């Protein structure tokens, strides 16, 4: 009989899927690394499990302990699965810009959830960064996962996602494109791919309101770049240790409107029911058209599932309220 001993053994080995309609005007082949096939429906399952296993090995997380993490939702879901299987308690701290669906799913998975304001600085004691750190200190036996600076995040993608993409493309990949939030995915995948072929280009997708693109191009952390934005899962107002800027060849920024509209278009034109960052990622690929030739194989990573955004990007009333679509 063929079966997994528990749900954690089903993480990884996600498929590559060719895009057809949205990429028809590009000269190259575009393949999506379709991470919603992970059991928690996102790429974050990989690094959530890696962080926990590494913490166990180092003695930082002991039997019956409590995991605390600041999350936009997906990492929390990966941690929730692993916590249930391994017998830990989980506390997730999330910002109030995240969808209600994410909060509800985290609770359904057994997590305790704290919701914090988005429009405050990272240093503000009300921010989800500060709240997570405070709870981890206050709770006896707690371990703060810290996906932003915990390099087990990058390690997970160097050891699994990167090799999968290399093998699935038979080494023919020329460009890798991914949204950048904590930085673990693009840094881990990018490091692995460049170790196999240094000529592979690594492109990051950023959003307006985030510091990444300007910092990469100038080395300046410009606080004037920071303002609230709607796009979920990418961009930051901090510089996580998992973002390896030396691995990334360039960034392109995608507007909130384009990210939302292309999230809908992926569903309606490619039958790909995906999250908000996928809309940003595919629009970013289209913006990079001039960098591609007919012989190129471009892999774009799609992070999570559309079910977490039915009250937002897949709700036309919400889209109209934000000015993303007109009455027609």
Catalytic residues: 44
- Render pLDDT for 3-51 as a digit per residue (tens, 0 to 9): 999 999 999 999 999 999 999 999 999 999 999 999 999 999 999 999 9
Claim to verify: residue 100 and residue 177 sit in the same structural domain: no
Closest CA to 259 of 191, 198, 319, 328: 319
Enclosing domain of residue 53: 44-144
- Render pLDDT for 226-239 as a digit per residue (tens, 0 to 9): 999 999 999 999 99
What would the DSSP string read from start to end of 44-108?
HHHHHHHHHHHHHHHTSS-TT-EEEEE-SSHHHHHHHHHHHHHT-EEEEEEETTS-HHHHHHHHH
Residue 121 has pLDDT above 90, yes or no: no
pLDDT for 128 equals 87
Q: Are 319 and 313 in contact (CB under 8 A)?
A: yes
The verdict on residue 294 lying in a domain is yes
pLDDT for 328 equals 65
Please tell me the distance from the alpha carbon of residue 206 to that of residue 96, in angstroms, as a whole number.
Answer: 20
Claim to verify: residue 190 and residue 99 sit in the same structural domain: no
Please tell me the distance from the alpha carbon of residue 255 to that of residue 46, in angstroms, as a whole number.
Answer: 28
Claim to verify: residue 308 and residue 266 sit in the same structural domain: yes
Q: Are 229 and 256 in contact (CB under 8 A)?
A: yes
Q: What is the CATH number of the domain that holds 206?
A: 3.40.50.1100
Q: What is the pTM of this model?
A: 0.94
Residue that terminates a domain, selected from 103, 123, 144: 144
């Amino acid at each position: 009989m063929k079966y997994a001993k528990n749900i954690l053994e089903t993480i990884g080995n996600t498929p590559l899927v060719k895009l057809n309609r949205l990429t028809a005007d590009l000269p190259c082949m575009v393949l999506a690394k379709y991470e919603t096939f992970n059991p928690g429906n996102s790429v974050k399952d990989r690094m959530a499990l890696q962080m926990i296993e590494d913490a166990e090995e180092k003695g930082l997380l002991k039997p019956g302990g409590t995991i605390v993490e600041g999350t936009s939702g997906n990492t929390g879901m990966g941690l929730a699965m692993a916590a249930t299987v391994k017998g830990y308690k989980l506390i997730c701290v999330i910002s109030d810009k995240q969808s209600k669906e994410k909060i509800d799913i985290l609770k359904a998975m057994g997590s305790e959830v704290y919701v914090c304001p988005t429009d405050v600085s990272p240093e503000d004691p009300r921010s989800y960064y500060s709240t997570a750190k405070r709870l981890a200190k206050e709770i006896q036996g707690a371990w703060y996962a810290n996906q932003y600076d915990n390099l087990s995040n990058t390690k997970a993608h160097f050891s699994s996602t990167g090799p999968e993409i290399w093998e699935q493309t038979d080494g023919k990949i020329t460009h890798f494109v991914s949204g950048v939030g904590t930085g673990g995915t693009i840094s881990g995948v990018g490091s692995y791919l460049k170790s196999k072929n240094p000529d592979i280009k690594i492109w990051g997708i950023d959003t307006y309101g985030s510091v990444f693109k300007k910092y990469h191009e100038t080395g300046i952390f410009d606080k004037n770049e920071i303002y609230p934005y709607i796009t979920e899962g990418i961009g930051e107002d901090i510089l996580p240790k998992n973002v390896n800027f030396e691995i990334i060849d360039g960034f392109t920024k995608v507007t909130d409107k384009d990210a939302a509209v292309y999230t809908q278009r992926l569903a309606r034109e490619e039958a790909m029911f995906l999250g908000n960052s996928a809309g940003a990622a595919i629009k970013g690929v289209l913006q990079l058209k001039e960098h591609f030739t007919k012989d190129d194989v471009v892999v774009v990573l799609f992070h999570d599932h559309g079910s977490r955004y039915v009250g937002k990007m897949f709700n036309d009333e919400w889209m109209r309220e934000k000015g993303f679509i007109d009455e027609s």
